[in-house]
Amino acid sequence: MIKGKNIYMSNLLGLARIRIIEEEIAKEYYKQEMRCPIHLSIGQEAVPVGVSKSLNFSDYIVSTHRCHAHYIAKGGSIQKLVSELYGKEDGACKGIGGSMHLYDKSINHLSSIPIVAGSIPIGVGIGYALKLKNKKNVSVVYFGDAATEEGVFFESLHFAALKKLPVIFVCEDNKYSVYTSINARQGNRNLKKIVESLNIKFIKPLNNNVHDIEKKALQARSYAISKGPVFIYSNTYRYLEHCGPNNDDDLKYRPKEEINYWLKKDPISIEIQRLKKIKRFNSNEYLEFCNSVKQEIITSFINAKKSKPFSLLKLSKLEYAK
Amino acid sequence: MPNKNNLFTDAMSDAFVQSMQKDKNVLIMGEGVTDPKAIFNTTRQALKKFGPQRVIETPVSENAMTGIQIGMSLLGKKAIFIHARVDFSLLAFDQLINNASKWHFMYGGTMNIPIVIRLIIGRGWGQGPQHSQSLESVFSHFPGLKVVVPSTAHDCKGLMISSIFDKNPVVFIEHRWLHNYSSNYSKKFYKISLNDSIGLKKKGKDLTILSSSIMLIESLKAEKILKKFGISLEILDLRVLRPLNLKKLFTSLNKTKNLLFVDNGWKSFGVGSEIFANILEKKINLKNAPVRLACKDFPTPSSHYLNKDYYVTVKDICVEACKILSVKKSTQKKIITECDKLLLKVPHDLPDLNFKGPF
């Protein structure tokens, strides 16, 4: 969580931090030194920042292939992220996992899994263990719209509801699975009804509105601990291609009007407008913060380039835990 | 009647109860673990002692339950998940293969998944194509998994305890027909190392037979018959497939110079293929070409009329052993007569509980 000089700014700084880090990674990517796929979170920052803000430090999260924002918002180390992209030993997974497996045990981000819906039961299992241990914490499970089409999605929600687990399911619907639109995949089925039919509370905060997402996530958290699973569903939009550093709007798989609509709903602009309205926006502090993040990420690039890769000899010894 | 307290299933039950006593994080989960049949009586004692909080009935959601088991293990729980038939575990391959097997490796060795997946192979009474697959070679393909295939009560208990306390995901595959065989095992808490792949079950000098799971019984029967005709078999039981440690096999082959491998499943790309490849790579010198016996290379038919010759029997083993060792035709005839007598005692689709060991 970002501690600004004024507490009103903290969500905005959280959004900006992710945006800047992702943009700088995109800029640096063409050099082909980060030789792994990247699924950037630009445009989708509001949900992870709002949700993370509502959590206690000791709450758990699990994530997907598009995990950078979840990881950063929970407080993951930027150096470990960047070094992982460069494939170095000081990366989050020693360069073994790559960008789609970010995790940081020290902040209770226990896994990211790129198989669609693959992390959903893992998060439920964490929730079950929390319940069995009588801990007053939650397990947050992030996933995208396509994950709700998988069988294991239903199985996992079913079990969480059956055992009334302290799990918050967070669905970020960016409308596309790679290039395929949600309409082609889901028709006009009603996800809310599916979720509610399992006796899971369904919450839909305002789109890309970090302030509202934080508020709703706080309610979700206390509900999850006292009563059982909650489902936060939020529409959002990715600005760049599914995988890679570029804009791919020339492929025309997303309608122009839709793109323009979402660019006007940018999470950072929405939050700045809100702060301006309540007269809490401090542009100097904002710019100063943005510069410091830029410095941080550039330093991380330099460090990552200098670090060593993990030893090939030690690699085969990792097959089993001893 | 077999000794009621020394059954394979009693040993399994013992392993559960003693492990759960040792560590309060050990749990049993699965469909049917609290039902009246208690997974062939293996979870009844644990349920009685530790209650439904630790012997947990689950919905029929194999894939999610495996993921949930993984998630629980990240917070220190050690869950044993039971599939009453191997075939159903295929629904959980995503979580088992994509997640559990790779977790320790892909997260740079900082986390580990101490779980047990217990699978039961069905056979006989018409269980057919989807209730009787021996898939141990499939599981053994994946780095990060350990694969255990016990044959005796003693091995079952020691290997199950080791599996529960191992830091890695262990796939524990037992054959249903082993359940009612009885053999001695210690009532104390003991482990058998998962690095000790092979158990020497009978010493011999003419031919090494390597088999696993229920095929050990057939091999031991063959050993008894051939002994009467002056043929000495060394019987090795392959009880851990991954990690595969073949030292005892190589030692045995350096003595007998002959190998017959009896597979529990199919021949193509099966366990035997891996064993033979290892022998080639090690340049082990054999007198005669090694032979693999296995199930017919097609799925198991249900009808007892159709599956009569599907599985390897004591007779197949004896016939192959005679061929390898160039046993005289007249002796071979006598051996076959003995085998036929034995096979007539029990219908082919039921376990032969007339065999009482020794193991």
**Is the separation of the CB atoms in B43 and B34 below 8 Å?**
yes
Going by their DSSP bridges, the two strands B198-202 and A230-235 should be labelled as unpaired
E strands, chain A, are 60-63, 109-112, 139-144, 167-173, 176-177, 180-181, 201-203, 230-235
Return the residue of B nearest to A311 by Cα.
B108
Per-residue pLDDT tens for B82-107? 999 999 999 999 999 999 999 999 99
More confident residue, B229 or A3: B229
Q: With cut-offs at 50, 70 and 90, classify the pLDDT of residue A2.
A: low
Q: How far apart are CA A28 and CA A86, in angstroms?
A: 11
pLDDT at B358: 80
| Residue B2 confidence (pLDDT) above 60 | no
Q: For chain A, give the mean pLDDT.
A: 96
B13: three-class secondary structure by DSSP:
helix
Q: How far apart are CA B145 and CA A268, in angstroms?
A: 45
Per-residue pLDDT tens for A28-54? 999 999 999 999 999 999 999 999 999
**Amino acid type, B39:** I
B8-178 to CATH, choices 3.90.700.10, 3.30.300.30, 3.40.50.970, 2.60.40.420: 3.40.50.970
**Is the separation of the CB atoms in B259 and B290 below 8 Å?**
yes
Per-residue pLDDT tens for A53-78? 999 999 999 999 999 999 999 999 99
Q: How far apart are CA B271 and CA B238, in angstroms?
A: 10
Pick among B29, B73, B106 to test the A interface (most A CBs inside 10 A): B106
Q: How far apart are CA B61 and CA B53, in angstroms?
A: 19
Identify the structural domains of chain A with CATH numbers, from first to last.
7-175+182-301 (3.40.50.970)
Mean pLDDT along residues B175-185:
95
Pick among B25, B74, B98 to test the A interface (most A CBs inside 10 A): B74
Q: How far apart are CA B293 and CA B219, in angstroms?
A: 11
What is the DSSP secondary-structure string of A9-62?
A: GHHHHHHHHHHHHHHHHHHHHTTS-S-S-----TT--HHHHHHHHHS-TT-EEE
Asked if B98 lies within 8 A of A113 by C-beta distance, the reply is yes
Q: How far apart are CA B15 and CA A43, in angstroms?
A: 53
End-to-end Cα, chain B, rounded Å: 17
Identify residues of B whose CB sits under 8 angstroms from chain A CBs. Answer: 53, 58-59, 61, 63-77, 94-95, 98-99, 103-112, 114, 143-144, 146, 167-168, 243
List, in sequence order, every residue forming a beta bridge with B57; answer none if it has no partner: B30
Q: With cut-offs at 50, 70 and 90, classify the pLDDT of residue A248.
A: very high
pLDDT at A1: 56
Q: With cut-offs at 50, 70 and 90, classify the pLDDT of residue A5.
A: low
Asked if B67 lies within 8 A of A111 by C-beta distance, the reply is no
Return the residue of B nearest to A118 by Cα.
B95
**Is the separation of the CB atoms in A275 and A281 below 8 Å?**
yes
Positive or negative torsion for Cα A235, A241, A247, A250: negative
Asked if B108 lies within 8 A of A97 by C-beta distance, the reply is yes
In chain B, domain spans: 8-178, 198-344
Mean pLDDT along residues B127-133:
93
**Amino acid type, B85:** R
Q: With cut-offs at 50, 70 and 90, classify the pLDDT of residue A222.
A: very high
**Amino acid type, B80:** I
> What is the torsion angle, in degrees rounded to the nearest 10, for the CA atoms of residue A34, residue A40, residue A42 and residue A47?
-140
Asked if A122 lies within 8 A of B98 by C-beta distance, the reply is no
Identical topology for domains B8-178 and B198-344: yes
Task: Fold for B198-344, please state it.
Answer: Rossmann fold (3.40.50)
The closest of A155, A18, A132 to A75, measured between CA atoms, is: A18
And the tokens for B112?
A: 């580990």
pLDDT at B258: 98
Cβ neighbours around A6 below 10 Å, total? 11
Mean pLDDT along residues A287-304:
97
| Residue B3 confidence (pLDDT) above 50 | yes
pLDDT at B356: 86
- Residues of chain B in contact with residue A99, where contact means CB-CB under 8 angstroms, are none
Asked if B105 lies within 8 A of A322 by C-beta distance, the reply is no
Cβ neighbours around B20 below 10 Å, total? 22
- Residues of chain A in contact with residue B115, where contact means CB-CB under 8 angstroms, are none
DSSP secondary structure letter of residue B301: P
Going by their DSSP bridges, the two strands A176-177 and A180-181 should be labelled as antiparallel
Q: Does A310 touch chain B (CB under 8 A)?
A: yes
And the tokens for B211?
A: 């088999």
Per-residue pLDDT tens for B247-268? 999 999 999 999 999 999 999 9
Asked if B65 lies within 8 A of A126 by C-beta distance, the reply is no
The closest of B66, B77, B139, B60 to B99, measured between CA atoms, is: B66
| Residue A4 confidence (pLDDT) above 70 | no
Chain CA centroid to CA B127, Å: 18
- Residues of chain B in contact with residue A118, where contact means CB-CB under 8 angstroms, are 67, 94-95, 98-99
Return the residue of B nearest to A111 by Cα.
B107
CB pairs under 8 A between A and B: 136
Per-residue pLDDT tens for B336-352? 999 999 999 999 999 99
* A 31-60: CB under 8 A from B: none
- Residues of chain B in contact with residue A127, where contact means CB-CB under 8 angstroms, are 71
Q: How far is A194 from chain B (nearest CA, A)?
A: 17
B80: enclosing H helix or E strand: strand B78-83
And the tokens for A281?
A: 């926006």
Mean pLDDT along residues B44-65:
98
B62: enclosing H helix or E strand: helix B62-74
List, in sequence order, every residue forming a beta bridge with B30; answer none if it has no partner: B57, B82
E strands, B212-313, are 233-238, 240-242, 259-266, 291-295
Q: How far apart are CA A123 and CA A203, in angstroms?
A: 19
**Is the separation of the CB atoms in B81 and B60 below 8 Å?**
no
Chain CA centroid to CA B59, Å: 27
Q: With cut-offs at 50, 70 and 90, classify the pLDDT of residue B242.
A: very high
Task: Please report where in the chains the tokens 């900082």 appear, as a residue.
Answer: B110
Q: Does A86 touch chain B (CB under 8 A)?
A: no
Pick among B24, B53, B105 to test the A interface (most A CBs inside 10 A): B105
Q: With cut-offs at 50, 70 and 90, classify the pLDDT of residue B355.
A: confident
Q: How far is A268 from chain B (nearest CA, A)?
A: 33
Q: How far apart are CA B305 and CA B21, in angstroms?
A: 47
Measured at the CA of B6, the angle between CA B2 and CA B7, to 5 degrees, comes to 70
**Amino acid type, A221:** R
What's the Cα-to-Cα distance from B267 to each of A131, B14, B17, B258, B293, rounded to whole Å?
46, 34, 37, 19, 7
- Residues of chain A in contact with residue B106, where contact means CB-CB under 8 angstroms, are 93, 96-97, 101
What's the Cα-to-Cα distance from B281 to each of B21, B50, B137, B138, B268, rounded to whole Å?
45, 49, 19, 22, 19
- Residues of chain A in contact with residue B69, where contact means CB-CB under 8 angstroms, are 125
Q: With cut-offs at 50, 70 and 90, classify the pLDDT of residue B1.
A: very low
Pick A126's closest partner by Cβ from B63, B71, B95: B71
Q: How far apart are CA B128 and CA B82, in angstroms?
A: 21
* A 120-139: CB under 8 A from B: 120-130, 132-133, 139
Q: Does A99 touch chain B (CB under 8 A)?
A: no
Q: For chain B, give the mean pLDDT.
A: 96
pLDDT at B207: 98
Asked if B105 lies within 8 A of A132 by C-beta distance, the reply is no
And the tokens for A15?
A: 């959004």
- % of residues, chain B, pLDDT over 70: 99
Mean pLDDT along residues A211-239:
98
Going by their DSSP bridges, the two strands B78-83 and A176-177 should be labelled as unpaired
**Is the separation of the CB atoms in A121 and B74 below 8 Å?**
no
Pick B68's closest partner by Cβ from A159, A319, A322: A159
Pick among B55, B107, B165 to test the A interface (most A CBs inside 10 A): B107
Q: How far apart are CA A224 and CA A137, in angstroms?
A: 9
B171: enclosing H helix or E strand: strand B170-175
And the tokens for B336?
A: 């076959």
Mean pLDDT along residues B122-143:
95
| Residue B54 confidence (pLDDT) above 80 | yes
- Residues of chain B in contact with residue A94, where contact means CB-CB under 8 angstroms, are 108-109
Task: Please report where in the chains the tokens 């360069």 appear, as a residue.
Answer: A95
The closest of B27, B265, B37, B318 to B135, measured between CA atoms, is: B265
